[in-house]
Chain A
Amino acid sequence: MKFSVVVFPGSNSDYDAFYAASFVLGEDAALVWHKDTDLQGADVVILPGGFAHGDYLRTGAIARFSPIMASVKAFADRGGPVLGICNGFQVLLEAGMLPGAMVRNDRIKFVSRLVPVRVEHTDTPFTAACKSQQVLHLPIAHGEGNYYASPEVLSELEQHRQVIFRYADPLGVVAPEHNPNGSLNNIAGICNRQRNVVGLMPHPERAAEAQLGSADGRVIFASAVQALASLSR
């Protein structure tokens, strides 16, 4: 199967995602320039981390105008799995493909460290190989990862089981003191109602091999492989 990783001007985790899909997982992978409109036969699309278009105006705000985004949206509308990592998550929010928005971390600082993240639901293409409530140790690296949604949207997210990852402690306990950025309900990642579009602030692609301090991120990529294999069976 094929992972297509979109490259925006300012993306910086594009090659990490490409590496995780190709060298770690052994799957086909392609880097797709944001001005292209062809996703190169993607089975899975990844919007990587970084600072697309310099994060001008707001994080992710300009990336939604990149020509490739119309193709990404059409791919998602057909049910294709799309994963937005960090800045890619912010792009999905600004593009209206996921609900809510990101604001500045509550303690202002850019936060860069390994954090425990609890997997809430395994019925998405990016958590299919996880165990429910499994704790993954993944790096975060962001200044604006403070997830916000109106009370109505937040309760809809919870009601429809769209919160997929929450900041927790290593035992999986979710509490305010384990929240690194002020996100409502400790939200680290969500999915759309159809469950094929997932966004998360932590970086699974930077934790796909033990040499990187954690190999827990590998399961996110392995999930996509497993989910697509079970679809085609």
Chain B
Amino acid sequence: MRARVYVTLKPSVFDPQGRVVADALVTLGYQDVQDVRQGKFFEVELSATDVATAKARVTEMADKLLANPVIESYRVEVLP
């Protein structure tokens, strides 16, 4: 099975890279851009065969390694 993990900085943590990207987009003429948050994206291939198990395993992985819970939050998706 394949799982996807989206990691972003918590809303309380300033994201200077996202800010620069937002400024660049505005400079390109996208005046409607209000904010950008930059993050990380992981695809994890697993031998698990059911969605619940896969989701539990990958959530644990995100918590232990893929994200740093001090500064980042994450969202796990398991593809059926």
Contact = CB atoms under 8 A, between A and B. Distances in A.
Interface stretch (A15-23, A35-43, A103-111, A130-138): A103-111
Interface string A139-155: 00000001011100000
Interface residues of B, number: 13
B27 to A, nearest CB: 15
Contact of A104 (B16, B65, B70): B16
**Which of the listed residues B14, B20, B68 has the most CB atoms from chain A within 10 Å of its own CB?**
B68
B65 A103 contact: no
Contact of B70 (A101, A107, A182): A101
Contact of A58 (B14, B16, B20, B68): B68
A182 B14 contact: yes
Nearest to B69: A101
Interface in A149-196: 149-150, 182
B69 to A, nearest CB: 9
B16 A108 contact: yes
B8 to A, nearest CB: 12
Contacts of B9: 103
A133 B58 CA distance: 47
Given A61-B65, A148-B70, A149-B70, A103 B20 contact: no
Interface string A34-66: 000000000000000000000001100100000
A205 interface: no
B53 interface: no
A106 B14 contact: yes
Contacts of A182: 14, 16
B63 to A, nearest CB: 13
A93 B14 CA distance: 19
A180 to B, nearest CB: 13
Interface of B: 9, 12-17, 20, 65-66, 68, 70-71
30 contacts: A57-B65, A57-B66, A58-B68, A61-B68, A93-B70, A94-B68, A99-B70, A100-B70, A101-B70, A101-B71, A103-B13, A103-B14, A103-B15, A103-B16, A103-B71, A104-B15, A104-B17, A105-B16, A106-B14, A106-B16, A107-B16, A146-B16, A148-B13, A148-B70, A148-B71, A149-B70, A150-B12, A150-B70, A182-B14, A182-B16
